[in-house]
């Protein structure tokens, strides 16, 4: 079985569900509160593991109740967690999430130990890179660690998937080391300067990445599905029609599922369809990791 390495953040999500999101300075009463493990890296690792991928996770948590809870949860999910670090000084990451009645959300993150996941922590997992097959990353950890990890994986012969979320400026030279990039529409516009509103602009935005050395591009579009392009082909995969309850971590579910499908040998368009189906199922449930479907549910 192919080995999937996920490097990224681990947070505890503190969620309030209410009828609508508050405007600046406004208090909205009548919400429902719950806590759920989250963080883009952890979400994607859980998504991959639940869908059958042999998943190894590298992150950094604090030596606190949230960190200990996260480590226990990763073990329960069947994730290989021997390369997870615990920080002596910083608390574990926390995210405050508001969700409205339509499943839309707004999120504020206190990164904590995530901000101290450094290249030296990745170097400690050198043996894993020598035997891995796929690397999946996001941008909730220091950019220098993302760059180091991508370059290390590229030189070791791993297939690299970057989910550039939340979006930030990337070095031009990094693109040539990325096999697949998977931005959403907002991240696509930030990185390319092109607003992807129709097939022409979607294609043009993909060309931006392809011309810089990325091998394959998939732009996720929420309820509109996903658009993909390579040097020789392109296509659109429609989304499944569902009643959305909470869109938190739908993109993370998509990326974890995409890598699992590709690691099993699915064609790119088939893997995207598999990922769209998983993401659609995830938005029908509340929470981040709690909403990640199993292979049986899919």
| pLDDT band for position 290 (cuts 50, 70, 90) | confident
Tokens 């030189």 correspond to what residue? 155
> Could you tell me which residues are beta bridge partners of residue 55?
4
pLDDT of residue 25: 94
pLDDT of residue 39: 92
Are the CB atoms for 196 and 185 separated by under 8 Å?
yes
193 annotated among ligand-binding-site residues: no
Query: Does 86 or 290 have the greater pLDDT score?
Result: 86
pLDDT of residue 248: 75
What average pLDDT does range 163-187 have in this prediction?
A: 97
Residues with a known catalytic role: 252
277 annotated among ligand-binding-site residues: no
223 annotated among ligand-binding-site residues: yes
- CA–CA dist 283, 246 (Å, integer): 5
pTM: 0.92
Residue closest to 87 by CA, chosen among 111, 64, 109: 64
Give yes or no for residue 247 having a pLDDT over 90: no
| pLDDT band for position 237 (cuts 50, 70, 90) | very high
Separation in Å, CA 160 to CA 34, 53, 105, 245: 34, 16, 29, 31
pLDDT of residue 289: 86
Percent of the chain with pLDDT over 90: 83
Q: Where are the domains of the chain?
A: 3-291
41: helix, strand or coil: helix
pLDDT of residue 12: 93
Name the least confident of 90-94, 103-107, 163-167, 210-214: 103-107
Give yes or no for residue 95 having a pLDDT over 90: no
| pLDDT band for position 13 (cuts 50, 70, 90) | confident
pLDDT of residue 280: 93
Query: Does 59 or 97 have the greater pLDDT score?
Result: 59
pLDDT of residue 48: 98
101 annotated among ligand-binding-site residues: no
What average pLDDT does range 101-112 have in this prediction?
A: 87
Number of neighbours of residue 69 by Cβ within 10 angstroms: 15
- CA–CA dist 266, 152 (Å, integer): 25
What CATH code is assigned to 3-291? 3.40.1190.20
- The pLDDT tens digits of the residues spanning 276-285 come to 999 999 988 8
Tokens 């400690």 correspond to what residue? 124
Name the least confident of 24-33, 160-169, 171-180: 24-33
198 annotated among ligand-binding-site residues: no
What average pLDDT does range 60-76 have in this prediction?
A: 96
- CA–CA dist 187, 165 (Å, integer): 7
What average pLDDT does range 97-124 have in this prediction?
A: 91
- The pLDDT tens digits of the residues spanning 131-140 come to 999 999 999 9
252 annotated among ligand-binding-site residues: yes
Name the least confident of 90-99, 138-147, 193-202: 90-99
DSSP 19: S
215: helix, strand or coil: coil
pLDDT of residue 46: 97
Q: In what order do the strands lie in the sheet with 159-162?
A: 54-58, 3-7, 134-137, 159-162, 180-181, 216-220, 226-230, 234-237
Residue 217 token pair: 């591009």
Residue closest to 292 by CA, chosen among 52, 10, 35, 19: 52
């Amino acid at each position: 079985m192919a080995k999937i390495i996920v490097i990224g953040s681990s947070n505890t999500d503190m969620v309030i569900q209410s009828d609508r999101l508050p405007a600046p300075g406004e208090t909205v009463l009548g919400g429902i509160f719950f806590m759920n493990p989250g963080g883009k890296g952890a979400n994607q690792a859980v998504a991959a593991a639940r869908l059958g991928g042999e998943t190894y996770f590298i992150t950094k948590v604090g030596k606190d109740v949230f960190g200990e809870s996260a480590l226990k949860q990763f073990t329960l999910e069947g994730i290989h967690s021997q390369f997870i670090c615990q920080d002596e000084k910083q608390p574990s990451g926390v995210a405050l999430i508001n969700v409205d009645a339509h499943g839309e959300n707004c999120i504020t993150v206190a990164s904590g130990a995530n901000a101290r996941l450094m290249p030296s922590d990745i170097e400690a997992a050198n043996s894993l890179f020598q035997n891995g097959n796929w690397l999946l990353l996001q941008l909730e950890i220091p950019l220098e660690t993302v760059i180091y990890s991508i370059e290390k994986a590229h030189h070791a012969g791993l297939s690299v998937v970057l989910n550039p979320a939340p979006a930030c400026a990337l070095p031009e030279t990094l693109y040539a080391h990325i096999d697949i990039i998977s931005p959403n529409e907002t991240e696509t516009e930030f990185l390319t300067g092109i607003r992807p509103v129709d097939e022409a602009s979607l294609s043009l935005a993909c060309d931006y990445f392809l011309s810089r050395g990325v091998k394959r591009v998939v732009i996720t579009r929420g309820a509109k599905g996903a658009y993909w392009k390579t040097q020789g082909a392109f296509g659109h995969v429609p989304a499944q029609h569902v009643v959305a309850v909470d869109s938190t971590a739908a993109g993370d579910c998509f990326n974890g599922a995409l890598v699992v499908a590709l690691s099993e040998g699915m064609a790119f368009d088939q893997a995207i369809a598999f990922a769209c189906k998983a993401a659609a199922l995830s938005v029908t449930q509340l929470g981040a990791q709690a909403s990640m479907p199993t292979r049986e549910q899919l």
